[in-house]
Amino acid sequence: MNDNIRLAQLLFGDVTLTPEELEERFPPRNLKEGARVTRFAPSPTGYLHIGGLFGALVDVLTAKASGGVSYLRIEDTDKKREIDDGVSAIITGLDSFGVHFDEGVTGFGTESGAYGPYTQSQRVDIYRAVAKRLVEQGLAYPCFCTAEELNEIREKQEKEGEDIRGYFGKWAKCRNLSFEEQKEKIEAGIPYVLRFRSSGSLDRRIFFDDVIRGKIEMPENIIDEVLLKSDGIPTYHFAHVCDDHFMRTTHVIRGEEWISSVPKHIALFKACGFKVPKYAHTPQVMKIDEEDGTKRKLSKRKDPEAAVSFFVEAGFPKESLLEYLLTLLNSNFEDWRRANPKEDLFSFNFNLKKMSSSGCLFDLVKLTDVSKNVISVMDAKTVLDRVLTWAESYDRELFGLLDRDKKYAEAIFSIDRGTAKPRKDIAKWSDVRNYCKYFYDELFDEEPVLPDNIGKEDAVAILGAYEKVYDENDDKDAWFAKMKEICEPLGYTPNVKEYKKNPDAYKGHVGDVSTVVRLAVTARKNTPDLCSIMALLGKDRVFERIHRAKEKFSA
């Protein structure tokens, strides 16, 4: 028995599982040529960053477009970043935006798929089996250095002007301990981590083809990276290598902050005898800073819109956010959308190669525009259902009002909907309260303010004349004819063109007359079709509001 085998026995005496058994338990997936297996691998922090949703969408679309598999893996090896049930918030966030994986974790403590468990803390036996093999091959060793010793090393490296900091070469004190020395320390109960024995050299370079960024060249890894921490829990570096291999991931799609770790990861894949997957590093989600106008990363601390929950709470429909994210992800998405206006966006032929490698700019104003378009083409029943679902959690008063008489509520959303040029007043469900304020006396808290070109006395006269002719049974044409009818006796013209030709001859035109009525009934200058609004409000409420406005303007 050589020393490596003895050491492996000493460190992992209890491990009987072998990498060969794991190869058999998790065989290569039986998928068609070119099918991609992707994963979304968040830590259970209970917080889903918009960049996370962005990444998850890329994973799902990449797998779908190639007839492959996407799965959700929870990376809970860093206890400091974890919160109790930090999984549900992530899954709920993804779910609210219609991002679903083919396999993996499905909830707190639940999962589906044949390549699990999909939570890293439940895979310790797998990591230990691989780690044991590395020790047997002399590719990993225990390191007994304390935190103080590691600090000292770092300080010395700084003083000596060492370009690379970390545990390697002459600094790696435990790398060359004899088996007897190792045994003595282990038997004395001295805590240790397991380190990779790197064979990298600074003179050599590695090359890899990033699917998004193309060929990348970097120096080889020379660091003896930690594989298992002193509590036996793996580091991200080691865990992802084992997981992506045994879950048969073909494409590791992750944030660009991981690019610098690729040399380390390639070295680990090779040492373990695993095929190196393809890497695709996605750009960061950026924004223009409101204060100084610079482009910067969306920050969890500074930007509420960095959290996916912000969009859920504001009531952006999932279609809007996904639609917008796709325009950021693939430059050809908008052309595809124009050609396929009704198609489910998950059938878009997503292509990683068409992703831009520079940061993508998240623009709330553009999202708002996209969302207005999305909502403008929904039918009234859909709008009502979606608003109710949102309001039930986020605006109970609005929920109560809409739910009290659903027919009335649906009729509100029907106004001007389904036309060739639908209105675009609503970008998110939280806009609905303001949108329908004047339909509910309980919410109607605005006062009409006349524009500068209409005097109070004229407004009172207009309302007085209008009261006399208004008939709630009039259709749109009759309604407008009446609006015109009252113009002339009041010094207004029913003809806008005529007014423009001869402005000094009139106080105003029919548009000004209807503005006064609109203001009295809704307190707004701009609303959807006023005739429909008045029909919905009914005669009593219309008269009541006209009286109130007359009183206000006479005061």
Min CB(51)–ligand GLU separation in Å: 10
> Which has the closest alpha carbon to 536: 407, 433, 364, 359?
407
* Piece in contact with ligand GLU (CB under 6 A), picked from 37-45, 353-361, 475-483, 496-504: 37-45
Min CB(59)–ligand GLU separation in Å: 9
Decide if 12 contacts 233 (C-beta within 8 A): no
Candidate residues 47, 60, 72, 75; the one interacting with ligand GLU per rule CB under 6 A: 75
Site map (CB under 6 A) of ligand GLU, residues 422-461, x = contact: ----------------------------------------
Decide if 234 contacts 127 (C-beta within 8 A): yes
254 or 518: CB nearest ligand GLU = 254
Candidate residues 8, 11, 37, 41; the one interacting with ligand GLU per rule CB under 6 A: 41
Question: Which CA distances in Å does 75 have to 106, 237, 446?
Answer: 14, 11, 51
254 or 507: CB nearest ligand GLU = 254
What residues does 226 pair with on adjacent strands?
195
* Piece in contact with ligand GLU (CB under 6 A), picked from 38-46, 103-111, 218-226, 434-442: 38-46
Tracing tokens 């001869």 back to the chain, one arrives at 502
Strand order of the β-sheet with 140-143 is 140-143, 193-196, 226-228
CA 419 to chain centre: 32
Angle at which helix 86-96 crosses helix 50-66, to 10 degrees, equals: 60
Amino acid in position 231: D
* Piece in contact with ligand GLU (CB under 6 A), picked from 35-43, 223-231, 288-296, 477-485: 35-43
* Piece in contact with ligand GLU (CB under 6 A), picked from 39-47, 201-209, 261-269, 471-479: 39-47
Candidate residues 7, 8, 11, 43; the one interacting with ligand GLU per rule CB under 6 A: 43
| Residues 415, 419, 421, 425, Cα dihedral to 10° | 30
* Piece in contact with ligand GLU (CB under 6 A), picked from 40-48, 349-357, 364-372, 425-433: 40-48
According to CB under 6 A, which residues from 217 to 276 bind ligand GLU? Answer: 240, 254
* Piece in contact with ligand GLU (CB under 6 A), picked from 41-49, 424-432, 522-530, 537-545: 41-49
Min CB(19)–ligand GLU separation in Å: 21
Record the tokens describing residue 437, joined without a space.
Answer: 């304020």
Interatomic CA distance for residues 260 and 279, integer angstroms: 12
Decide if 239 contacts 43 (C-beta within 8 A): no
240 or 518: CB nearest ligand GLU = 240
254 or 372: CB nearest ligand GLU = 254
Min CB(61)–ligand GLU separation in Å: 16
Q: Does 42 bind ligand GLU (CB under 6 A)?
A: yes
Min CB(248)–ligand GLU separation in Å: 15
Min CB(240)–ligand GLU separation in Å: 5
C-alpha distance across the termini of the chain, in Å = 104
The 10 Å Cβ neighbour count of residue 53 is 24
Min CB(273)–ligand GLU separation in Å: 20
Per DSSP, the three-state class of 29 is coil
Backbone angles phi, psi at 16, to 5 degrees: -110, -20
Decide if 263 contacts 220 (C-beta within 8 A): yes
Decide if 499 contacts 493 (C-beta within 8 A): yes
Min CB(208)–ligand GLU separation in Å: 15
75 or 395: CB nearest ligand GLU = 75
> Which has the closest alpha carbon to 240: 260, 219, 266, 216?
266
Residues that bind ligand GLU (CB under 6 A): 41-43, 75, 240, 254
